[in-house]
Structure 1
Amino acid sequence: MTAKKISILGCGWLGLPLAEALVQQGYEVHGSTTTSEKLNLLAEKQIQPYLIDLNNPEKLPVNQAFFESKILIVNVPPKRNSGNNYTAQIQNLQSVLQHSKVTRIIFVSSTSVYKPSLEEITEESALDHENAKELIEAEKFIAASENPWQTTIIRFAGLFGPGRAPGRFLAGKTDLPDPETPVNLIHLQDCTQIIQEIIKQEKWNEVFNACADEHPGREVFYTEAARKLQLPLPTFEAKTVGKKPGKLISNQKLKTALHYDFLFPDPLKAL
């Protein structure tokens, strides 16, 4: 049963449906939360629940079954204005993992690590060390070559799906900049499916961008998204003359390596 055991650190909006999908596939899933109120919910979904707070390394369950899984999915994104707290959390986790049975890690990251560019952004593009310093440092800690595990990093674009409707993001806002800037989004179902494919195909020691195929402009997408929800439409500034740096995330490496076809390739059609 050991080979079919997976632990998910962070059973939130993404982690919980991922855990449910893995349970359906026959995995023994161990899931963590930072709130005791959620423990019963995890148990009801046949997920073995753990209360884990990376801010308190002395309370991390080093000897418990959570860290006995061969595969660990780390899904704890940094909170806004967290200072250096997130870096400390990942360092705490790394210290515990050094003494665990974990041999494979999937680290959930974000395309926010990239600098805006006039070119299509690939996994090799320049990183934004000024505005995404914590997340970049976290990737380095978890994927360091001296660690006794293999790591695959998934840099997800903007997440949307049940409970996270894009139409609410900019509804009613006015004079928004960059109406033609491409939107980079990925649906929840694609997120969970991609993680499952990485596990199934054993694609380790990789970095993947995960983003839908199509990139509608901000004005087109968010206006239609608000309209679908019958919310006040956003308004945008006039289109600018000339091309300015932005982000157009390439998913080609992921599609080729995993032979993956997106369930929701066009965010407009997924609204």
Structure 2
Amino acid sequence: MIFLVQLKKNSPVVAIAGCGWTGLPLGKKLSIDNYQVKGSVRHDEKITILNNAGITPYLMNLPDEVNKRFFTENDFLVISIPAGTKSGKGKLYLESIREIIKQLKLLSPGLSKVILLSSIGIYPHDEGQWTEDSGFELESDKQNIIRTAEKLIQENFENNLILRLGGLMGYDRYLAKYYLKKDILDIDPTPVNYVHRDDVIDVVIEGIQKDHRGIYNVVAPEHPPKYEVIQNSAHSKSVKLPPSGKKLTPESRTISGKKLMNEWDFGFKYPDPNRFWSN
């Protein structure tokens, strides 16, 4: 089923598979920037929300329920679907990626680029700094699912962009929110690897507008300790944290976003996760 909004003549068509927490504001900004935007949703109640954002909504529940109109005559496609590694739906995610590839090849032969929103979850939880060029073994199901999805896109589309996103934060996602119901809040000095949603959206739009290809980490350049981010987000949101507990041993793992900053000359609006919620 399709629900049309007024399309913009002679504007590039960007299809966003998965108009959720990131895909919806991305589509809204692209529409404001005069792109024709198509978005897939799984539930009827999202239809009006997408229409109001200037996005043409398509009901679709991959991998079994496919809306062929969504895949027809697109210039760009952004895959913003969770990998399902936390919910045990990784197999369905990979089946969805394969179905997306199949439909694009049939219905959008003139496609300019595919952008996959991947995850830094591909990197091991070992000490050190990890970059796009780091060598490592894929030891977990999570790592294998993420890498398989990336390889499927790389092998099927010459012009591809893989964005390995850090922990998505900003707006209603603030770190303290996930600790409010604990009895004791242990002090965790582990450096965070987060990114603000607005910066992710800016990176995706630049990836559409310019000839960027390959794999890039999208992570804020500063990595403050986790307990600092919890405290600062609690202060910004005026919520009360549980009493402090023991100090944990930090996991000294950071993900570098320097390649993106250097090769794209990209500047983060929110370089410090301590200030994600300060305005």
Structure 1 residue corresponding to 2:82, chosen from 62, 70, 77: 77
Cα contact 1:5–1:69 (8 A) shared by 2: yes
The 1-side partners of 2:40 and 2:46 are apart by 9
Give the drift of 1:171. 2.8
Partner in structure 2 of residue 46 of structure 1 = 54
Partner in structure 2 of residue 217 of structure 1 = 225
Give the drift of 1:233. 3.4
Q: Which secondary structure state, in structure 2, belongs to the residue aligned with residue 181 of structure 1?
A: coil
Structure 2 residue corresponding to 1:130, chosen from 124, 140, 153: 140
The 2-side partners of 1:66 and 1:30 are apart by 9
The 1-side partners of 2:223 and 2:245 are apart by 18
The 1-side partners of 2:44 and 2:35 are apart by 23
Partner in structure 2 of residue 154 of structure 1 = 163
- Give the aligned residue type for 2:59: L
Give the drift of 1:100. 2.6
Q: Which secondary structure state, in structure 1, belongs to the residue aligned with residue 244 of structure 2?
A: coil
Partner in structure 2 of residue 115 of structure 1 = 124
Cα contact 2:28–2:53 (8 A) shared by 1: yes
- Give the aligned residue type for 1:110: S
RMSD value, Cα: 2.1
Partner in structure 1 of residue 25 of structure 2 = 17
Q: Which secondary structure state, in structure 2, belongs to the residue aligned with residue 117 of structure 1?
A: coil
Q: Which secondary structure state, in structure 2, belongs to the residue aligned with residue 186 of structure 1?
A: strand
Cα contact 1:211–1:250 (8 A) shared by 2: yes
Cα contact 1:216–1:268 (8 A) shared by 2: yes
Structure with greater strand percent:
2
- Give the aligned residue type for 1:44: N
Which string of whole-angstrom CA distances, capped at 9 and with x for unpartnered residues, describes residues 190-249 of structure 1? 011111111122202x10100111111112221332343322236353343xxx754201
Moved over 4 A (4+): 174-178
Partner in structure 1 of residue 96 of structure 2 = 89
Report the CA distance shift for 1:230/1:246 in structure 2 as closer, same or farther (over 3 A).
same
Structure 1 residue corresponding to 2:201, chosen from 187, 192, 197: 192
Gaps of 5+ in 2: 1-8
Number of corresponding residues? 262
Give the drift of 1:34. 0.8
Report the CA distance shift for 1:238/1:61 in structure 2 as closer, same or farther (over 3 A).
closer
Q: Write the mapping of 1:51-66 to structure 2, written as runs, cut at 5 A.
A: 51-56=59-64, 59-62=65-68, 64=69, 66=71
Give the drift of 1:75. 0.4
The 2-side partners of 1:224 and 1:233 are apart by 14
Partner in structure 2 of residue 27 of structure 1 = 35
Partner in structure 2 of residue 250 of structure 1 = 256
The 1-side partners of 2:177 and 2:231 are apart by 10
Report the CA distance shift for 1:65/1:168 in structure 2 as closer, same or farther (over 3 A).
closer
Which string of whole-angstrom CA distances, capped at 9 and with x for unpartnered residues, describes residues 28-84 of structure 1? 11111111221122122221111121121xx4233x254311210000012222152
The 1-side partners of 2:10 and 2:71 are apart by 12
- Please give the TM-score of this superposition, normalised by the length of structure 1: 0.88
Gaps of 5+ in 1: none
- Please give the TM-score of this superposition, normalised by the length of structure 2: 0.86
Percent sequence identity is 28
The 2-side partners of 1:68 and 1:129 are apart by 39
The 1-side partners of 2:61 and 2:14 are apart by 19
Q: Which secondary structure state, in structure 1, belongs to the residue aligned with residue 255 of structure 2?
A: coil
